[in-house]
Structure 1
Amino acid sequence: MRGKSEPTQIAGVAMSVIGLWILLNLQFATSAESAGELQMFDGTSLSGELVRLETGQGLVWKFPAARNPLVLRPKNLTTVRLKATQGPPESFRPVSKLRFKNGDEILGNLISMDGGKFEVETWFAGRLKGRQETVEAIGFSANGYRVLFEGPTSLDGWTVGKNSRPWKYQNGAFVAKGPDILGRDFGLKTSSSLEFDLTWSAAFSLTLTLYTKTVDRFDYSASAYILYISQGGLTLQRVTAGQGAVLLGNAQIPSMLTKSSVRFEIRTNIEDASIGILVDGVPAGRWKDNSGFAAKGGGLVFYSQTDGPELKLSNMRLTALDGRYEPEISTNAPSTNDVVFLANRDRVTGKIEGVHDGKIKVLTRATHLEIPMERVVQLVLAKSEAEPVTHGPWMVRAKLIGGENLMLDIQQFQNGQLRGSNANFGSVELMTSSVRQLQFNLNRPTSGPNDLGLVSPESLSIEQ
């Protein structure tokens, strides 16, 4: 019972193993009502709420088990997850997807590009201006980019199996430690892009069923597409009800043999019955179903088939696409010229002189062209070296509830506002309610000492 007993003092900047045990085993420290979660490199996870962040003082974290808020330095932080509540308004329909050389990616509406500068309208920060040389590529969707899912933040809406060790939600990820299914019906009726980070602890086998009617089990009799993923490669099959399975293709992924985590992107184009897969941004394969698109449902099912290894799915995003041709950047990036990819699969090579009034002006070797925007699916800008990024102590990657991510050198997080500097846009201000996650120490391996990096150890007075 809380009362007048003296608090237990945990002294010293370095948190002892005993102190961590006390913190992590207090029942009220993991309350489901907590507004956020803070994670350290050593795996320590503290529920609570980010009160404020100022570079001169530290990160102030309201932790239910501590008498006073914790004040932390960033050196051993890996992730701060926030309870984002404000997403894009229904009226905002982004038709442009901008990808930058530093890894930033945003959805918005390109207003103009001229004189080495560009302007884009966003839902999270209004109109932003930047330098054209920082842009890697710009995709265009005639019907607009619709993010159907971005997370995870819980198991709500997902179906898990009835096995003894089912999929669980933990620290911003879906985690499996044994054979089990994880499914959800998104009602997919259009082409789509599914992105996720996959992390594993040992050799594994994972299947992903795409566009299935059955989301509560692994159903080999329903018309769908099944992707088999192992540590060394992948295989894609078409399954047709009453007819069985047909192999569409396979690919070896040697890089996965030396890693424990990769990022997948699976682009399904219903219109031309093709599925393209990228691993860490590199195309692994693109296969066309010559019999036409066979799947009959709108759901996804992950099935962990191995007993023992831990699998994690995180940073997931499912986006509805309009099905137009979209080339892979890494295979088409030019060295000295800009490239305009058209919906009919033609391309124009030259120099983009400007984007105005719904038209793209391109200077080719032969002439000047003006191309209507509705004919364009992607601009890939001339390849150039990205400016080196200095990862200071407060450099973070901010992930927004709408699926965007921005690298920010944070200056302040307080009173509902996040203010920082971005290499592409300069000074940026965001509503904290739009931010889902802050990732710290971007170039540091995910291991470290049991040091919380406390500015004020006395704040760790634990009430008995």
Structure 2
Amino acid sequence: MAATAAFCQAGENKSTLHFRNGDWLRGTMAAYDQAGGVTWHHADASGPLRFNTSQLTGITLDGAAIGQLGAGNLCEVLLVNGDHFRGNFAGATDEHFLIDTWHAGRLQLGRNAVRKIAPLPRGLKTLFQGPENDDGWTHGKINNETIGESGNWRYHNGGFHAKAAASIARDLDLPDSAHLSFDLEWSGSMHLAFALYTDSLQPISLSTKENEPDFGGFYSVQINSYSVNLLPVKKQEPLTYLGQATVPDFRKKPKARLEFFASKAQRMVAVAIDGKVIRKWTDSRGFAGQGTGVRIVHQGRGAVRISNLRVEEWDGRFKGPPTHPLGAKDDLVKLVNNDRMQGRVDGIDGDKLNVTTAEGGFPVPLDRVKQIEPATSRAPANVGIEHRVRAHFSDGSRLTFVLNRWSADGVEAHSPGFGSATFKPGSITRLEFQPKNK
């Protein structure tokens, strides 16, 4: 069945099927099983529609609000295949690490499938996670003839999209030390500006800023297809860039995970891309930001999507990429003071990590642990191609698995990395289907 945009006007159809020929179809995901494929509801259809997943590249879903985890040893988990999620580190066995999640309960991760476990500091607040809609955001009109007619950011399926020049802003109560992270996707050229610590929710024309309504200072993080720049902006002071970081990989891919770090005390702003810090800037003239808001301006070139935005308090620590070689026989524990312990992680006892080394067993307070890099297989087991999907969750997590069944009761899946699991249907915002010939 061919699907066209003309068939996709019903307002209650909030999810979207994406076909390999470029067509798309709005509607509602009703069910899935391996024999029958996807069962789809559409307001204009008299009955359910069925599609074989070989016809599809993916499904964007109207994911529900993010669930809450109980108190525990919260950590970020990175798998060998690049998947990642957050959960409470609950323990370890000879074969598994035990992680409690909000979307699937307890996962038993094969030890050789885990690339990194990074404990997160206790007591740091998450100030924003979403978006779930554009409520609370301010749309601004851009008055600049050089970048074309002003448009709007549009919310759809857990993200903001823009093609024309557009501005959207919100007072996120940025703390003095903040960490912002988000997924960025683009097609064509990319020109974005993120105003950090702004007190103005309306866009500022930098070329005529002296004539703009009064505004407090802010930092403009300017991102294009090949570089990232940082510009302190104050109304009555000349514009002076603090420096550029070249990002040649941006031209080779259509998406990335970006992170901004800021510390007023250190007069510092930093940017990380896909987990690697590419540049740290220190402002010798003092921290320029005078507000607590964020403004995102698309310059009207190409198309962009921003999703999985998280704003948190920051403890000043940068996470590092794993360096323990694949195929290593021992676990590596890196401490915040840069010491290292090599041996075996035996489990968790309260807020202490039990580590056995050649010198004996040691209980290590988790707040001293920067990250755990377990022993891994040099060639970890891959998820089979048949019925394989990559699932994106409303909190920014990503997992790859074989999809067995989807119903209102749960999403049943299995993977060599975590065995069998049942996920909450409302936790998933996007599915990517893997073609059988790859």
User: Do they superpose with TM above 0.5?
Assistant: yes
What is the aligned partner in structure 2 of residue 418 from structure 1? 411
- Asked if the contact 1:340/1:349 (under 8 Å) is kept, the reply is yes
Is 1:313 aligned with 2:330? Answer: no
In 2, Cα distance between equivalents of 1:444 and 1:239: 51
Aligned equivalent of 1:196: 183
Is the 2:26–2:42 contact (alpha carbons within 8 Å) kept by the matching residues of 1? yes
Q: Which residue is equivalent to 1:25?
A: 6
Aligned to 2:193: 207
Aligned counterparts, 1:368-407, within 5 A = 368-382=361-375, 384-407=377-400
What is the distance in 2 between the residues matched to 1:424 and 1:367?
29
Which residue in the other structure is 2:151 paired with? 166
Structure 1: unaligned runs, 5 residues or longer: 1-12, 446-464
Task: Identify the residue that residue 220 of structure 2 maps to in structure 1.
Answer: 226
Amino acid at match of 2:372: L
Mapped to 1, the partners of 2:57 and 2:243 lie a distance apart of: 38
RMSD: 3.1
Shift of 1:86: 4.8
Q: What is the match of residue 263 of structure 1?
A: 257
Report how far residue 41 of structure 1 moved. Answer: 3.6
Distance 2:139 2:117 in 1: 37
Output the CA distance in 1 between the equivalents of 2:432 and 2:310. Answer: 21
Give 1:444 deviation, angstroms. 8.9
Distance across 2 between alignment mates of 1:46 and 1:360: 49
2: CA distance, partners of 1:443 / 1:157: 43
- 1:61 is matched with 40
8 Å contact from structure 1 (residues 224, 240) kept in 2: yes
Aligned residues: 419
Q: 2:84 corresponds to which residue? A: 105
State the secondary structure of the residue aligned to 1:30: coil
1:301 maps to 2:286: no
Matches within 5 A, 1:230-249: 230-240=224-234, 242-249=236-243
Cα pair 1:81 1:436 within 8 Å, conserved: yes
So what's the TM-score if we normalise by structure 1? 0.79
Q: Distance in 2 between matches of 1:322 and 1:208?
A: 19
Is it true that 1:287 corresponds to 2:281 in the alignment? yes
Contact 1:147 1:403 in 2 (8 A): no
Distance 1:36 1:321 in 2: 33
Paired with 2:352 and 2:94, the residues of 1 have a C-alpha distance of 15
Work out the CA distance in 2 between the residues paired with 1:271 and 1:382.
38
Q: 2:13·2:42 contact (CA, 8 Å) conserved in 1?
A: no
Corresponding residue for 2:171? Answer: 185
Q: Deviations over 1:203-234 (max 9, x none)?
A: x4221112222222137563222211121111
* Aligned partner of residue 255 in structure 1, secondary structure: helix
| CA shift in 2, pair 1:361/1:272, >3 Å | farther
> What is the CA–CA distance in structure 2 between the aligned matches of 1:211 and 1:393, rounded to whole Å?
47
Compared with structure 1, are the counterparts of its residues 32 and 158 closer, same or farther at alpha carbon in structure 2 (3 Å cutoff)? farther
Q: Is the 8 A contact 1:199 1:262 kept in 2?
A: no
Match of 2:431 in 1: 438
- What is the distance in 1 between the residues matched to 2:437 and 2:264? 40
- Describe the shift of the 1:145–1:351 C-alpha distance in structure 2 as closer, same or farther (beyond 3 A): farther
Query: 2:181 corresponds to which letter in structure 1?
Result: L
State the one-letter code of the partner of 2:48: P
- Contact residue 75 and residue 393 of structure 1 kept, 8 A: no
For the residues of structure 2 that align with 1:363 and 1:245, how far apart are their CA atoms?
55
- Three-state SS of the structure 2 residue aligned to 1:75 is helix
Deviation by residue 1:38-78 (Cα, 9 ceiling, x = unmatched): 22244423221111101111100001222221100112323
Aligned-pair identity in percent equals: 23
CA distance in 1, matches of 2:416, 2:185: 28
CA deviation profile, 1:129-182 (whole Å, cap 9, x unmatched): 222221111122223576554554543332222354413326544333333322
Corresponding position of 1:89: 68
Measured in 2, the distance between the counterparts of 1:135 and 1:353 equals 13
Q: Secondary structure at the match of 1:354?
A: strand
Partner of 2:49: 70
2:211 corresponds in structure 1 to: none
Return the alpha-carbon distance in structure 1 between the equivalents of residues 152 and 429 of structure 2.
22
Conserved in 2, the CA contact under 8 Å of 1:30 and 1:46? no
The 5 A counterparts of 1:361-372 are: 361-363=354-356, 368-372=361-365
Mapped pair 1:350 → 2:329: no
Letter in structure 1 aligned against 2:153: K
Residue 49 (str. 1) matches residue 28 (str. 2)? yes
Contact 2:63 2:428 (8 Å CA) reproduced: yes
**TM-score computed with the length of structure 2 as normaliser:** 0.84
TM-superposition CA deviations, 1:324-369 (whole Å, max 9, x none): 4133215x445646443334x3231412332321222445566654
In 2: Cα distance, 1:35 partner to 1:259 partner = 28
- Asked if the contact 1:167–1:174 (Cα under 8 Å) also holds between the matched residues in 2, the reply is no
Tell me the distance in 1 between the aligned counterparts of 2:435 and 2:193: 30
Query: C-alpha deviations, 1:347-393, integer Å up to 9, x for none?
Result: 31412332321222445566654321122232233565352524534
